[in-house]
Chains A and B, each alone.
Chain A
Amino acid sequence: MTFIKDFRSEHRADLTELSFSLHMIRHSPLTILGMGLVSGLVVLAVLAPFIIPYPEDAYVSMHPESALMPVSFQHLFGTDEMGRDLFSRSIYGTRISLQVGVVVIAVAAIIGVVLGGVAGYFGGVIDEAIMRITDAFLSIPGLVLALAVAATLGPGLNNAMAAIAVTWWPWYSRLVRGQVLEIKQELYIEAARSMGGGKLYIIFKHIMPNTLAPIIINASMDVGFAILTAASLGFLGLGAQPPAPEWGLMISTGRKYMPTRWWYTTFPGLMIFLSVLGFNLLGDGLRDLLDPRIRRKGRVKR
């Protein structure tokens, strides 16, 4: 008992924060929905090979006798032109899309943090050079640039991921630079410097941790948008290639069988929709939780 008491008094501030966070989450149904959708997708992605009814249909398999069957209990989402179960393929597609979203945004965020951090901290000519290049990348509409890079590298999932990362890092370098510029002016940075803190020490110990919250908020939203972009490239034939069960590619193939085989395009699209929605709501919820300005507002209300 004394242990619990000690723990409580020692971590009082943390515990209040935690209970406040839980309170905020509990009172935001949309955040709960977002967390539910995202964790559902993660579970599906991890367990996909074990839970889908027709694991062999995820990639190549042929069942001509059951081609293009409508929705039924055997095939919840119907079947495609090769008789593959679209439910199995849609669920399996979660693996591809989540991987794409997370990897792309991680790469983009790392590039952005390094470049934005350098630009913001050192300023001057370095800042100008980095930011003008950032501007140039941002002045090409995202999907158009991704399309051009993907086309240049050649069709394929890995190239599509590289292409999307190329279009995404400028947002992060701009974000991080702005943050660093703001934090650099804070009193505690001056204090650290006056105590003889080295440049690297200040960057990694004091500046970087404080830029983390906005990066996490943006990243959680962007994972959804990266999934959407990857699906768009897949739809245009520049992303994953057959027989991969990628949602955009499935919609592109299914379009040939419209309007009679409506299920072919409808369900993979629904998966994209739910993924983007989930990450978007999660990002919104995290913003409310992590942004101190919005947080304080919530506290007053309480």
Chain B
Amino acid sequence: MSNILKYVAKRLLLLVLVLAIVVTITFVLSHVIPGDPARLYAGPHARSDQIERARIELGLNKPLWEQYALFWMGLLSGNLGMSIHTRRPVTLDLLDYFPATVELTTVAMTITVILGILLGIASALHKDKAPDHASRLFALSGVAMPTFWLGILAQLVIGQMLGILPISGRVDPMIGLIYPTQKITGLLIVDSLITGNIPAFLSALTHIILPALTLAFGTLAIVSRMMRALMLDVLDKDYIRTAKSLGLPDRLVVYKYAMRNALIPVITVIGLSFGYTLGGAFLVETVFDWPGLGRYTTDSIVTLDYPAILGVVLLTSFVYVLVNLAVDLLYAYLNPKIRY
């Protein structure tokens, strides 16, 4: 047990170090901006004394090391500066927009993991037969398909031509107006369910299907191919042959003995897939008009709102690092071989 504690401590230490470098990278980024941040902050029609005042307000007149120290101090007290386009603290903005992204990526990752594992098993069991070829084709197109293009096509075919699912927003505007959802977690599906707001819940559920499927498509391919390879590997093992020769039913052999062992390494791909999903969310949100971090960022880009953009970078990398830590710990917990 002390070994696993040591492992956790080591990982946490590394995590802090890596995050410190990430902070430094964002600080460097915020200081190589071509053009004058003070001028941007003061607005396009500011007089020179207003720009000077903005410079002092932003601390840009101080020496670089002092600015770096201030950047850190602000960060540790949860202050990421003021957003130029919303004129609010970036931290508050992030708190407002982040839950929508969490909701979207969580649903997408759930689809990725469940469907990816099932597809992987199916193609491993039917190796080199029709289901395997179909899933290979599916995986290849999933990897090569631009997420934003897939989203637009999905809107066109499923939303417009077939008219099955809504194609933009988180909830139907009318339903949102008539049945407003009280904000508890910020996750609309969860909030509407807790408060028993059934119309809003159903609307939110139908709204998330298309963007989540679009987002899941690419990573689904990665997970299913990995699962296939691992299943094939495990199915070749002696203990599977033994189990089969003992006359155990196929279902039991596949789902109890083979799948469980193949699942452990798949966990590691999930961490990586999460990074793709988080990045992809920025594109999917733009396409589906989803009010999350991605849309906040694209709005920030248009207005050259650097504090907002850097806040998003810090937040996403923080979440990504934490998810990867969780994945690694889970892996170490499930696989005693690497507990060092």
Contact = CB atoms under 8 A, between A and B. Distances in A.
Interface of A: 132-133, 135-137, 139-145, 147-149, 151-154, 224, 228, 231-232, 235-238, 248, 251, 255, 258-259, 262, 265-266, 269, 272-274, 276-277, 280-281
B143 A276 contact: yes
B153 A266 contact: yes
Given A145-B313, A148-B309, A151-B301, A139 B156 contact: no
Q: Which of A144, A231, A265, A276 has the most CB of B within 10 A?
A: A144
7 contacts: A140-B313, A141-B279, A142-B279, A152-B30, A235-B148, A269-B149, A272-B149
B301 A237 contact: yes
A147 B282 contact: yes
Would you call the interface of chain B mostly helix, strand, loop, or mixed? Answer: helix
B94 interface: no
B29 interface: yes
B301 A273 contact: no
Contact of B276 (A133, A141, A152, A281): A141
Contact of A136 (B21, B35, B310): B21
Given A142-B279, A144-B313, A145-B313, 14 more contacts: A136-B18, A136-B25, A142-B276, A144-B317, A151-B306, A231-B146, A232-B147, A235-B148, A236-B282, A237-B302, A255-B287, A266-B153, A269-B153, A277-B141
Contacts of B155: 258-259
A251 B141 contact: no
State which size class the interface on B falls in.
35 or more
Contact of B301 (A139, A228, A238, A269): A238
Contact of A259 (B19, B160, B320): B160
Given A144-B313, A148-B309, A139 B282 contact: no
Contact of A139 (B34, B280, B287, B321): B321
B313 A148 contact: yes
B18 A139 contact: yes
Contacts of A151: 300-301, 304, 306, 309
A70 B176 CA distance: 38
B152 interface: yes
Contacts, number: 138
Would you call the interface of chain A mostly helix, strand, loop, or mixed? Answer: helix
A153 B35 CA distance: 10
A151 B26 CA distance: 12
B256 to A, nearest CB: 30
A291 to B, nearest CB: 15
Contacts of B32: 152-153
Contacts of A248: 146, 148
Interface in B202-246: none
A140 B21 contact: no
B145 interface: yes
A269 B275 contact: no
B221 to A, nearest CB: 11
A237 B147 CA distance: 16
Contact of A135 (B18, B34, B279, B301): B18
B228 to A, nearest CB: 15
B25 A143 contact: no
Contacts of A259: 155-156, 160-161
B144 A280 contact: yes
Interface in B157-200: 160-161
Contact of B29 (A152, A236, A238, A281): A152
Nearest to A251: B149
Interface in B268-326: 275-276, 278-280, 282-283, 286-287, 297-298, 300-302, 304, 306, 309-310, 312-313, 316-317, 320-321, 324
B273 to A, nearest CB: 11
Q: Which of B18, B35, B153, B160 has the most CB of A within 10 A?
A: B18
Contact of A273 (B145, B156, B297, B312): B145
Contacts of B316: 140-141, 144
A133 B21 contact: yes
A139 B324 contact: yes
A228 B17 CA distance: 31
Nearest to A264: B152
B253 interface: no
Contacts of A232: 146-148, 283
B312 A144 contact: yes
Given A141-B275, A144-B312, A147-B297, A273 B18 contact: no
B140 interface: yes
